[in-house]
Homo-oligomer: A and B are copies of this chain.
């Protein structure tokens, strides 16, 4: 797998990253066009190298034609590119209950960012008026700072994790629920550690 030339690596990466752009497994001609190459024969040599490396399905016995990634190559891609780790649940008042076996969830592109993200399941009703319900999944971008008005995962006193609106000033931090029955809490900056910022949310209506 390491004896690929730079160009072969490049072509494989392109294939891996743009595979869904093709409605069907691309033919040599289609890939040529997508890569801006003019010669099918030249591309053929590279694809043969990728087949030898086990990254691409061999053509022989491949009746439908087209270049297909190996199951292996696809899995690797799915695990890191398409899916996000499902870390656990976040309940108001308790630290994040981490899962031992990290699962991965497929998440639509539009709900992700280009920075590292993970998924949490919400427990509690502290954000209902922001449209985040008990049982929803939230996609969190991992970072330690936030703008005022963003919804953040905050760790309070190194022990309680919670999902709230944040308002920061020089001497204090406000964590504001979206629920008329609850009140905002005020902390000193050193009591609150931002663990991530909400960038996406998902809900299932089936499970009851």
Tell yes or no: A100 within 8 A of B by CB. Answer: no
User: How would residues 35 to 68 of chain A score, 1 for a CB under 8 Å from any chain B CB and 0 otherwise?
Assistant: 0000000000000000000000000000111100
Give the secondary structure class of A's interface. mixed
* Nearest-neighbor residue (CB-CB) of A27 within chain B: B6
Q: Are the CB atoms of A6 and B20 closer together than 8 Å?
A: no
Out of B10, B64, B203, name the residue touching A9 (CB < 8 Å).
B64
Tell yes or no: A202 within 8 A of B by CB. Answer: yes
Interchain nearest-CB distance for A59 vs B (Å): 13
Interchain nearest-CB distance for A154 vs B (Å): 16
Interchain nearest-CB distance for A104 vs B (Å): 7
Q: Are the CB atoms of A204 and B3 closer together than 8 Å?
A: no
A191 surroundings in chain B (CB, below 8 A): none
Out of B64, B82, B128, B137, name the residue touching A6 (CB < 8 Å).
B64
Tell yes or no: A133 within 8 A of B by CB. Answer: yes
Taking CB atoms and an 8 Å cut-off, the chain A residues in 59-103 that contact chain B are: 63-66, 79-80, 82-83
Tell yes or no: A184 within 8 A of B by CB. Answer: no
Q: How far is the CA of A205 from the CA of B65 in the complex (A)?
A: 38
Tell yes or no: A159 within 8 A of B by CB. Answer: no
Q: Which of A's residues lie within 8 Å of B, judged by CB?
A: 2-6, 9-10, 13, 20, 23-25, 27, 63-66, 79-80, 82-83, 104-111, 113, 128, 131-133, 137, 151, 198-207
